[in-house]
Amino acid sequence: MQKKSVSPAREIHLNQEAIRAIKKAAEIFGIEYEECKTWTTDGFYRKTKEMVMYRKEEGCKVVEMECSALTASASFRDAIFG
């Protein structure tokens, strides 16, 4: 089995097919949403005032803990995640 090569990156993007499916479901059920950039962190204690300001300047609107890892894993496995 050949290993897939994946380079580290500052940002990772969700699969567009998954995004379209999520939007369609939200619209069908009348759920309001806002597309935005998210900041992934591995611990709440890392969210200093300075880091929050830095991430806001980058365009982030929310913070969460798993999206980038799941997105990268899905991409590596050629799976769709959103």
Closest to 66 in 3D by CA, of 41, 36, 34: 41
Phi-psi region of 30 (alpha: psi -120 to 50; beta: other; left: phi over 0): left
State mean pLDDT over 43-66.
86
Q: What pLDDT, in 10s, does the model give residues 34-49?
A: 999 998 887 767 778 8
Global confidence as pTM? 0.74
